[in-house]
Amino acid sequence: MKTKTSVSVGLLFALGLSGCGPAADASAESETESPLAIAIHGGAGTITRENMSAQREAEFDAALREATEAGYAILEAGGDSVDAVIAAVQVMEGNPLFNAGIGAVYTYQGEHELDASIMRGDSREAGAVAGVKTVESPIALAREIMQNSRHVMLSGEGASQFAREQGLSEVENNHFNSEHRYQQLQDALKELERSQQAGEQIASNPNWDPNFNMGTVGAVALDSAGNLAAATSTGGMTAKQYGRIGDSPIIGAGTWADNESCAVSSTGHGEYFIRYQVAADICSRVLYQDKDIVTAGDEVIHQVLPSAGGTGGVIIVDNKGNVHMPFNTEGMYRASKTSSQPLTVGIYNDEE
């Protein structure tokens, strides 16, 4: 998308900036490309080539491409970054491969409790929803909360009531069921029982599969007007206790967007992302320490989080359209496309 920058010569003279003679044109006009960018993730975890069949890899690849293209098409048509991140996230909410919407993990009680949030970088308006059970698209509800409520975060039954008032579609909780997540719950319950009997702490249990804590989806984007946005949606953590809320709906931890610095969506062990305010911390390093997103993102994901025991990753886009996607796990489902780079998909930690 092209933007025209037109500066009048009169203004240049007034500012003492013109080196032009009297014969200069009435306006100095230049055409510049406004950068566009989108990056998405579909969760981080113990994702290795050994554990991945060719068919499953192809399914993830196709899903990540579909989500990225859905968001990028909106940016390319001159659309808003908020619409772009929602379009990308909704593709993944609808795909059972991901721990968001259909395919969300099960709680300890065998249900699904969904969290999501969205933030826009121009006004820092934000919307978040926690612990909803029957809203078909939690990210759509997060946007309604941002745009049409007096609040930033709604939870549980109140959030569902608001969704109804806004005319969003509702489904039965079992709409989000999937066989592989059910199996994951059975494995988690067995491990919980074993560790309780042994008197072990789950938080430091080496047998606790890190994948029980992961699989969230998210998107960050920069649109042609220079506005950043970030969105995150999740089922949370397998076998989570009643009422547990992770980082995904917490502005500053799971989601952050500020036009002056960057937009971030997180995935990983949410308790650590909350305690270290991961998304906002990365953008604060960009804003106040003048770091680029590679330095800021790597510091938080590869130094701050691991020293505390936190695992996961983030996707970051800055206000110039640069993208960085650091993670400290064996893999993170991710993809990006910008006006200067074609669509790229990554899964493992040995790929760019």
Choose which of 215, 310, 321, 326 interacts with ligand ASP (CB under 6 A). 215
Shortest spacing between CB 43 and ligand ASP, in angstroms: 5
d(CA 121, CA 238): 31
270 labelled binding-site residue: yes
CA 89, 95, 101, 105: dihedral to nearest 10 degrees? -120
User: Active-site residue numbers?
Assistant: 216
* Contact letters for ligand ASP, residues 72-111 (x by CB under 6 A): ---------------------------x------------
Least distance from ligand ASP to the Cβ atom of residue 253, Å: 9
Three-state SS across 242-258?
A: CCCCCCCCCECCCEEEC
Q: Which amino acid is at 71?
A: G
Break the chain down into helix, strand, coil percent, rounded to 5.
35, 25, 40
Q: Please give the Cα distance from 127 to 140 (Å, whole number).
A: 10
Phi, psi of 305 (to 5 degrees): -65, -50
Among 136, 223, 247, 318, binds ligand ASP (CB under 6 A): 247
Backbone φ and ψ for 330, nearest 5 degrees, come out as -75, -20
By the rule CB under 6 A, 238 interacts with ligand ASP = no
Residue with tokens 């970051």: 316
Q: Is 184 in the site for ligand ASP (CB under 6 A)?
A: no
Pick from 81, 90, 137, 216: which binds ligand ASP (CB under 6 A)?
216
| Member of 71, 236, 297, 331 binding ligand ASP (CB under 6 A) | 236
Contact call for residue 246 and ligand ASP (CB under 6 A)? yes
**Is 270 among the residues that bind ligand ASP (CB under 6 A)?**
yes
The residue within the footprint of ligand ASP, chosen from 90, 107, 160, 213 (CB under 6 A), is 213
Nearer to ligand ASP, 72 or 212 (CB): 212
State how far the alpha carbon of 75 is from the alpha carbons of 4, 321, 336, in Å.
17, 12, 13
Give the torsion sign (CA, 158, 161, 162, 168).
Answer: positive
Total residues in contact with ligand ASP, by rule CB under 6 A? 15
Q: Name the site residues for ligand ASP (rule: CB under 6 A).
A: 43, 99, 213-216, 234, 236-237, 246-248, 267-268, 270
Which parts are annotated binding residues for substrate? 244-247, 267-270
